[in-house]
């Protein structure tokens, strides 16, 4: 479970999101490349280094438990005293501290690069108020990365010093709960680091497949920053059972619930965009709607869990596991698939099969809900998380449904892999603009040339590529760039 959590969060979702931003931010703002390509390359290569260091523990025998592998085994959260040297001699914990600190460094490099690219390298006429919403999502994600990641690094480095040099920052002689503060000051915002880019993808996909401009652009941007601001002040909702002062808990409860407001604004605007549009349910749009449905459930169970008395009951139960997967799987995996079906044709030059895409979507949607929806009932019934087995026979049937559904998710991912391989060999050629898009990435060939744009485009509105197509069709020259 420690390896699963660590892998999914740090080695899959975060690099996936920074990867997509890396590819599309320069294209969407009309730049030839990211601002600091060498820093970018360094950040990129730190990711495999980090993964290698973490998994190295798998090959080192654990001398404290007579030869089990030493992979970190204190949960993805690594709380002391579970990760305290006194109780856990596994070198895997040390490797975990080093590995995740390196990954954090890579994130910071990416964030600096995105912000500089967006602020300094925009095409003429690409005012901030004309940026595609995916780019705004990249700005807000980068800000969160810059503010929150150092806190995680500090926690991990101090934990490492505790273990290597026998200091007492977080040991039972020190303040173990301090680690939780440092960890969650990063890891709550990390939820948004994994989801805001997904919000950005959805804000690109829904207008294109509804044939309408995004509804409420300004409020979408404000909502992103509302989420950034609030998400930095809610971390202790993960710590309601460690014995914080009740007034502090009440404050964190209220702030957590307040996040529903900007998120609600976004939901309203996505639906307002599709409303009355000429909606076309191509695969990216299916995943976008799958995201709306699943993330909504995750958001609502989040409101329940934000209530201190409810969380006190449900903490450490399968209800939390169900909630976190609705948020992270619904918010990240569904949006990643939406983004891949939407943008892979730009990257590879080949459209993915709609028929396989349909199977991919439905197996994922059914498998996902089959796995995680019923987990809520197990949690309400008191099944604890982070156990390898369970004591009550009447939980067996539900767990069986979960296992079968989880295999359906695996089938779905397999279908995706087949689809990618098939389309690269035999897929229809995408051409530059397969979806009749609005933003600049569709104005260049698929795949784009290494320098992105032969001539830097001039931007006159929020939908620059749509303008250029219109100008070409009607033969009128594009209007002069405003200021
Ligand atoms: C096939 C898909 C998946 C299945 C079947 C699955 C299943 C599980 C299960 C059974 C647990 C352990 C619960 C416990 O006893 O505490 C778990 C924990 C977790 N999962 Fe997943 N998961 C999946 C995908 C994901 C994804 C995509 C993410 C993140 C983007 C994720 C993040 C986590 C995290 C953070 C934990 C907590 C680990 C810990 O307790 O330290 N999972 N998952
Ligand atoms: Cu949180």
Q: Cβ distance 409 to 371 under 8 Å?
A: yes
Look at residue 376 and tell me whether its pLDDT is greater than 80.
Answer: yes
Helix (H, G, I), strand (E, B) or coil at 483: coil
pLDDT at 477 over 70: no
pLDDT of residue 442: 97
Distances (CA, A) of 267 to 195, 229, 289, 299: 14, 18, 11, 11
Q: What is the pLDDT of residues 75-127, one digit of tens each?
A: 999 999 999 999 999 999 999 999 999 999 999 999 999 999 999 999 999 99
The pLDDT > 90 percentage for the chain reads: 93
- Which residues make Cβ contacts (< 8 Å) with residue 251, sequence separation at least 6? none
**Cα 235 to ligand 2 centre (Å):** 5
Q: Residue 252 corresponds to which tokens in the numbers above?
A: 């964190």
Residue with CA at minimum distance from ligand 1 atom 38: 5
Separation CA 462–CA 482 (nearest Å): 12
pLDDT tens per residue, range 281-333: 999 999 999 999 999 999 999 999 999 999 999 999 999 999 999 999 999 99
Q: What is the pLDDT of residue 65?
A: 74
Residue 333 alpha carbon, nearest atom of ligand 1: 27
Atom nearest to 409 CA in ligand 1: 1
CA distances from 79 to 74, 167, 344 (A): 7, 16, 39
Res 479: pLDDT? 60
Report pLDDT digits (tens) over 51-63. 999 999 999 988 7
Q: Residue 63: its pLDDT value, please?
A: 76
* Homologous superfamily, domain 1-271: Cytochrome c oxidase-like, subunit I domain (1.20.210.10)
Per-residue pLDDT at 480: 55
Q: What's the mean pLDDT when you consider all of the chain?
A: 95
- Residues in CB range of 159: below 8 A, 6 or more apart: 78, 80, 83, 93, 97, 169, 170, 179
CB within 6 Å of ligand 1 — which residues? 1-2, 4-5, 8-9, 13, 75-77, 321, 324-325, 328-329, 332-333, 371, 385-386, 406, 409
- The burial of 474, by beta-carbon neighbours within 10 Å (0-12 exposed, 13-18 middle, 19 or more buried), is given as exposed
Q: Confidence band (pLDDT; 50, 70, 90) for 461?
A: very high
- Please provide the DSSP assignment of 86-148 as one string: TT---HHHHHHHHHHHHHHHHHHHHHHHHHHHHHH-PPTT--GGGS-HHHHHHHHHHHHHHHH
Q: Give me the residue spans of the domains in the chain.
A: 1-271, 281-425
């Amino acid at each position: 479970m420690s390896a699963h959590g660590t892998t999914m969060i740090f080695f899959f979702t975060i690099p996936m999101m920074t990867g997509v931003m890396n590819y599309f931010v320069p294209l969407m703002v009309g730049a030839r490349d990211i601002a600091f390509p060498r820093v970018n390359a360094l950040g990129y290569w730190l990711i495999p280094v980090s993964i290698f260091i973490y998994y190295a523990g798998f090959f080192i025998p654990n001398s404290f438990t007579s030869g089990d592998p030493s992979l970190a085994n204190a949960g993805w959260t690594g709380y002391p005293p579970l990760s305290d040297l006194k109780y856990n001699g596994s070198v895997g914990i040390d490797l975990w501290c080093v590995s995740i600190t390196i990954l954090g460094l890579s994130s910071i490099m990416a964030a600096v690069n995105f912000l500089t690219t967006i602020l300094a390298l925009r095409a003429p006429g690409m005012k901030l108020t004309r940026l595609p919403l995916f780019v705004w999502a990249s700005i807000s994600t980068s800000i969160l990365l810059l503010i929150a990641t150092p806190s995680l690094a500090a926690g991990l480095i101090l934990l490492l010093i505790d273990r290597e040099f026998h200091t007492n920052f977080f040991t039972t002689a020190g303040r173990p709960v301090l680690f939780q503060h440092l960890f969650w000051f990063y890891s709550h915002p990390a939820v948004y680091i994994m989801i805001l880019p997904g919000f950005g993808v959805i804000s690109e996909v829904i207008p294109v497949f509804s044939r309408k401009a995004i509804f409420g652009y300004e409020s979408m941007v404000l909502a992103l920053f509302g989420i950034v601001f609030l998400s930095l002040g809610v971390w202790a909702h993960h710590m309601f059972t460690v014995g914080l002062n009740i007034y502090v808990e009440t404050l964190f409860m209220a702030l957590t619930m307040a996040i529903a407001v900007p998120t609600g604004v976004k939901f309203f605007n996505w639906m307002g965009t599709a409303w009355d549009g000429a909606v076309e349910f191509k695969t990216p749009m299916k995943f976008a709607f799958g995201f709306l449905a699943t993330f909504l459930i995750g958001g609502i169970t989040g409101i329940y869990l934000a209530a201190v008395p409810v969380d006190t009951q449900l903490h450490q139960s399968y209800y939390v596991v169900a909630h976190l997967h609705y948020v992270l799987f619904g918010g990240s995996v569904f949006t990643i698939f939406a983004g891949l079906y939407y943008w892979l044709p730009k990257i590879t030059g080949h459209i993915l099969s709609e028929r396989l895409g349909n199977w991919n979507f439905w197996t994922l949607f059914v498998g996902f809900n089959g796995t995680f929806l019923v987990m809520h009932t197990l949690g309400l019934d008191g099944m604890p998380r982070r156990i390898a087995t369970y004591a009550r026979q009447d939980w067996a049937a539900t767990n069986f449904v979960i296992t079968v559904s989880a295999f359906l998710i695996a089938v779905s991912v397999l279908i995706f892999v087949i689809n990618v391989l098939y389309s690269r060999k035999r897929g229809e050629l995408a051409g530059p603009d397969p979806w009749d898009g609005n933003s600049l990435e569709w104005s260049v060939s698929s795949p784009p040339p290494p320098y992105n744009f032969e001539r830097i485009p001039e931007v006159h509105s929020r939908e620059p590529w749509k303008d250029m197509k219109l100008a070409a069709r009607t033969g009128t020259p594009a209007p002069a760039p405003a200021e």
